[in-house]
């Protein structure tokens, strides 16, 4: 019996003892990133969510980059120079750039990439859907003609990854969709190594990259799929991961202020969340009723829920966005008397409404609950239904719900019109409440054609005012993005035009 | 025997068809649009419509159903909209991880529940019996997700003894994939350290499943053993002066195995359903995690395929148990024949 217990003890000792898991993180040249989901595709023409961008942004390069501290300032990347002449843009391409398979990068790659992207019509194609044609002038020069003059083309191209025309030609039957879904060959700082389904994508450093790595870069990157937020937080804290995205705020603040960690803070959210009100369905189709809801909403409760790491927006465009009219806008705050007056004017006392909330976002649920209690003070009943995202947005679009809760961010570093088109113009995917205003449609169409920044600023203010005055949206809060980074790691910066991603090529050990 | 086997196989097949039909229509009742997911959130309505046509989602429901069932008859489980690959390919990749977790959990469950039952049945109503009852009931009473997270908290976060999740240490290279069973592949690669590492990763998810099922298994086995203990043949054995150990393992156990086997079969069914939650908690890349991710985006084909696969697992284990009954207890065979 003693012998058996001894064996059991040795077995348990071997199983549980040995190397502590925290110890692995310190000595390995590998960077482990805990990502909130597994990509559905790694095709840059289709990539649409953060965990897809994690891969595509690091494997591929773009024609231009931008300064994260000043998104209006564009930086050279695969293109070294560019200029606009009316509807024509000319890009001079960088010499000596090669894809990971060794083939040279040239203007044919740019043309093939953009032609393919626009044909597929998914992912980020909406950012450059004003392109009319792409012409190869010579191997190092490409000309892009837009449907109408647009000052934002170069800025939006900072989000479009460049593929190899040879790869596209080799897999032309389905526009390369099957191949690019799970294979990658870019010019970027990291090369695709493998994709273990359900577990991770492995990348290795491209030491022939044209750009500059910091000292002590990571040779190997593992993009781990960790669906549970608590697990991402715990794994980061326990040393199993080097960085994690979408760590719940309370955990992020706790970890980031604990020993061995620091907090990286920045802006990239336009609203988190925004509540969209249905313009077609009673009672939210009444403007005065919507005004009552906007004015009754308890913004302070939302800011407090973000533990002070948030402000209340004055409109759709945040103050840190290039050319934002935010500072000239009127403060939006809770005013119960004004709300009651607006409700009386609407003649909709004791109204009932339904709110669809995408599941999986505690902040969304909380905002809906705040709306519910705020509306209750007016005698308005709000019924909340938490549903999967597609089901929730379908409910409001098909007039089965009065409101929908959504986070707002803009993928373009300096073009607000793409955001307006998606959220406030006719047919926009996120325009779930079916807002329509012809003046706004015209303004958004005109904005990119104005080359004078001051003039553009004025038009953007007019556009923002139209949305604010319609009371279509309740911008509940605009929180800061807070990311806990271990002290042994450096280089993480918040991208103001993306929520949230890691530029692995800037990360390094200390 | 062959007639019995044939009859059970036909019934099993009918159950699978029924599950396929029910899940097909249930999945279509949900007002969701997988094409919109596939197109991405900023795609135009034309793009979404094009994708609907490409995937046959624009066709009338009976037509979609007929097409799916014809494909199914040919072994085609359809295509996953989320992973953009055939469901069969996905299952081949995800299934071994789940099977490994289930097999290990099942073995530990049998060993532990049976050992506890034997201990409890020795002195029914005694202190040991009471303690076992209390501990196993607490284990079963705790919700699976909470139990899993608590185990992670103590064994990973506090003690640093066991990993947070997944199948192999993150920063180390896994053994070459041969069978898909990490334990087996580690041994095939001749790496005891990889075997131990895999075992460490299995420990918490398997413990979560086992602890949660332990009470029912232990109680049912205990009841069967106690019932057998009161039989005359046991008294005779005692009278002949046989040792308690010999009586338990040579006589009582064999006769009590049939009801224990029945209980075990039922528990295996629960095990299959718990595996979804456990795999999500521990980021275990098996069909449970695959199912969870597919449910989230209303990916129809994997959802139906997974219902069929888990039902098939249940049908197979039932069939195996039915075949085992006559081996264990010859009286069952004589009734059957």
The CA distance from A341 to A205, in Å, is 62
CB–CB contact B290 A198 (8 Å): yes
How many Å apart are CA B114 and CA B119, to the nearest integer? 9
- Look at B112 and B330; give whichever has higher pLDDT: B112
Residue B272 has pLDDT above 90, yes or no: no
Residues 6+ positions from A83 with CB-CB distance below 8 Å? A89, A90
Choose from A32, A125, A182, A198 for mutation: most chain B CBs within 10 A.
A198
Q: State yes or no: pLDDT of A417 exceeds 50.
A: yes
Cβ distance of B32 and A388 shorter than 8 Å: yes
pLDDT tens per residue across span A423-452: 999 988 899 999 999 999 999 999 999 999
- Give me the DSSP letters along A192-247: EEEEETTTEEEEEE-TT-SS---SSB-SEEEEEE---HHHHHHHHHTTS-SEESS-
pLDDT number for residue A179: 95
Q: Is there a contact between B219 and B213 (Cβ–Cβ < 8 Å)?
A: no
Contact B293 A227 (CB under 8 A): yes
State yes or no: pLDDT of B107 exceeds 70. yes
| Helix, strand, coil in percent for chain B, rounding step 5 | 75, 0, 20
Residues A225-246 have pLDDT tens digits of: 998 888 999 999 999 999 999 8
Name the residue facing A422 among B42, B83, B169 (closest C-beta). Answer: B42
Contacts of A182 in chain B (CB under 8 A): 84-85
Asked if residue A20 has pLDDT above 90, the reply is no
Q: What pLDDT, on a 0 to 100 scale, did the predictor assign at position B126? A: 86
* pLDDT recorded at residue B244: 84
How big is the CA angle at A115 (ends A182 and A422), to the nearest 5 degrees?
85
What is the per-residue pLDDT across A311-325, written as a single tens digit (0 to 9) for each?
A: 999 999 999 999 999
C-alpha B180/C-alpha B98 separation (Å) is 10
Query: For residues A280-299, b (16+ Cβ closer than 10 Å) or e, as one string?
Result: ebebbbbbbbbbbbbbbbbb
Q: Does A84 touch chain B (CB under 8 A)?
A: no
Structure tokens at B131: 């303690």
Chain A neighbors of B208, CB-CB under 8 A: none
Which backbone phi and psi does B98 adopt, to 5 degrees? -70, -45
- Residue A154 predicted with pLDDT over 50: yes
How many angstroms separate the CA atoms of A144 and A139, rounded? 14
Q: What pTM does this model have?
A: 0.87
* Residue B12 contacts residue B319 (beta carbons within 8 Å): yes
Which residue(s) pair with A358 in the sheet? A387
Residue of B nearest to A359 (CA): B296
> B244: which 2 tokens?
């308690």
What's residue A408's pLDDT? 93
Q: Where are the alpha helices (DSSP H) in A28-175?
A: 50-59, 107-120, 153-157, 165-170
Report the C-alpha gap between A140 and A122 in whole angstroms.
Answer: 28
Q: Do A24 and B169 make contact, defined as CB atoms within 8 angstroms? A: yes
Chain centre to alpha carbon of residue A295: 28
Give percent of chain B above pLDDT 70. 97
Average pLDDT on B74-86 reads 88
Nearest residue on chain B to A235, alpha-carbon basis: B164
SS3 of A212, please?
A: coil
User: Best interface-test mutation with B: which of A4, A35, A40 has the largest number of B CBs within 10 A?
Assistant: A40
pLDDT digits (tens, 9 = 90+) for A252-306: 999 999 999 999 999 999 999 999 999 999 999 999 999 999 999 999 999 999 9
pLDDT tops 80 at residue A21: no
Residue B253: pLDDT band (50, 70, 90) is: confident
């Amino acid at each position: 019996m003693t012998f058996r217990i001894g064996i059991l003890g040795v077995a348990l000792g071997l199983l549980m003892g040995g190397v502590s898991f925290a110890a692995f993180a310190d000595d390995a040249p590998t960077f482990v990133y805990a990502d909130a989901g597994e990509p559905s595709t790694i095709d840059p023409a289709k990539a649409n969510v953060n965990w897809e961008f994690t891969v595509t942004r690091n494997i591929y390069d773009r024609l231009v980059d931008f300064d994260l501290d000043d998104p209006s300032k564009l930086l050279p990347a695969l293109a070294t120079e560019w200029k606009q002449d009316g509807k024509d843009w000319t890009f001079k391409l960088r010499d000596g750039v090669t894809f990971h398979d060794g083939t040279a990068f040239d203007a044919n790659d740019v043309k093939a990439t953009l032609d393919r992207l626009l044909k597929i019509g998914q992912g980020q194609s909406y950012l450059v859907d004003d392109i009319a044609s792409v012409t190869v002038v010579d191997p190092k020069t490409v000309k892009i003609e837009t449907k109408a003059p647009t000052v934002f083309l170069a800025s939006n191209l900072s989000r479009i990854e460049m593929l190899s025309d040879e790869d596209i030609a080799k897999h032309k039957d389905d526009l390369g969709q099957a191949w690019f879904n799970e294979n990658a060959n870019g010019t970027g700082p990291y090369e695709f190594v493998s994709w273990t389904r359900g577990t991770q994508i492995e990348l290795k450093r491209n030491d022939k990259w044209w750009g500059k790595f910091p000292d002590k870069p990571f040779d190997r990157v593992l993009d781990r799929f960790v669906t549970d937020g608590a697990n991402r937080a715990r794994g980061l804290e326990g040393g199993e991961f080097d960085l994690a995205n979408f760590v719940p705020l309370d955990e992020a603040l706790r970890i980031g202020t604990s020993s061995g960690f620091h907090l990286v803070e920045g802006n990239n959210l336009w609203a988190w969340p925004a509540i969209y009100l249905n313009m077609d369905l009673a009672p939210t189709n009444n403007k005065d009723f919507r005004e009552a809801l906007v004015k009754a909403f308890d913004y302070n409760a939302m800011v407090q829920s973000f533990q002070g790491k948030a402000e209340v927006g004055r409109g759709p465009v945040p103050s840190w966005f290039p050319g934002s009219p935010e500072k000239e806008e009127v403060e939006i705050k809770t005013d119960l008397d004004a709300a009651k007056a607006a409700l009386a004017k609407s003649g909709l006392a004791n109204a009932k409404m339904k709110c669809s909330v995408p599941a999986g976002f505690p902040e969304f649920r909380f905002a809906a609950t705040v709306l519910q209690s705020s509306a209750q003070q007016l005698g308005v009943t709000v019924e909340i239904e938490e549903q999967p995202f597609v089901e929730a947005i379908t409910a409001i679009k098909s007039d089965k719900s009065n409101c929908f809760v959504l986070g707002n961010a803009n993928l373009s570093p300096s073009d607000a019109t793409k955001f307006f088109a998606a959220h406030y113009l006719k047919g926009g995917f996120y325009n779930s409440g079916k807002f329509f205003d012809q003046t706004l449609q015209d303004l958004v169409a005109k904005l990119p054609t104005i080359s004078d920044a001051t003039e553009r600023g004025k038009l953007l203010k007019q556009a923002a005012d139209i949305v604010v005055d319609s009371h279509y949206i309740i911008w509940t809060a605009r929180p800061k993005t807070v990311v806990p980074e271990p002290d042994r790691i450096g280089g993480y910066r918040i991208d103001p035009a993306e929520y949230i991603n890691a530029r692995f090529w800037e990360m390094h050990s200390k | 025997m062959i007639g019995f086997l044939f009859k059970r196989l036909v019934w099993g097949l009918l159950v699978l068809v029924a599950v396929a039909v029910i899940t097909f229509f249930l999945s279509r009742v949900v007002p969701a649009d997988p094409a919109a997911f596939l197109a991405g959130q900023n795609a135009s309505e034309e793009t979404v419509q094009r994708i609907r046509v490409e995937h046959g989602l624009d066709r009338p429901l009976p037509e979609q159903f007929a097409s799916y069932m014809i494909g199914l008859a040919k072994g085609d489980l359809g295509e996953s909209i989320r992973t953009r690959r055939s469901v069969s390919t996905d299952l081949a990749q995800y299934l071994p991880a789940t099977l490994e977790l289930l097999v290990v959990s099942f073995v530990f469950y049998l060993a532990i529940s049976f050992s506890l039952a034997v201990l409890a049945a020795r002195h029914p109503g005694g202190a040991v019996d009471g303690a076992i009852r209390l501990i196993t009931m607490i284990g079963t009473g705790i919700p699976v997700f909470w139990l899993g997270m608590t185990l992670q908290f103590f064994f990973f976060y506090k003690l640093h003894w066991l990993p947070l999740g997944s199948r192999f240490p993150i920063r180390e290279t896994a053994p070459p994939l041969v069978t898909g069973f990490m334990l087996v592949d580690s041994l095939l690669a001749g790496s005891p350290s990889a075997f131990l590492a895999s075992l460490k990763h299995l420990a918490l998810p398997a413990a979560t499943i086992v602890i949660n099922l332990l009470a029912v298994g232990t109680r049912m086995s205990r009841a069967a053993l106690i019932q057998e203990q009161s039989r005359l043949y046991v008294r005779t054995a005692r009278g002949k002066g046989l040792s308690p150990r010999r009586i338990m393992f040579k006589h009582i156990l064999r006769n009590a195995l049939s009801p224990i086997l029945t209980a075990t079969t039922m528990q295996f069914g629960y095990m299959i359903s718990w595996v979804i939650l456990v795999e999500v908690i521990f980021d275990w890349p098996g069909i449970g995690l695959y199912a969870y991710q597919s449910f989230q985006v209303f990916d129809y084909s994997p959802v139906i395929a997974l219902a069929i696969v888990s039902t098939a697992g249940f049908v197979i284990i039932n069939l195996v148990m039915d075949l085992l009954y006559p081996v264990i207890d010859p009286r069952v065979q004589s009734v059957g024949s």
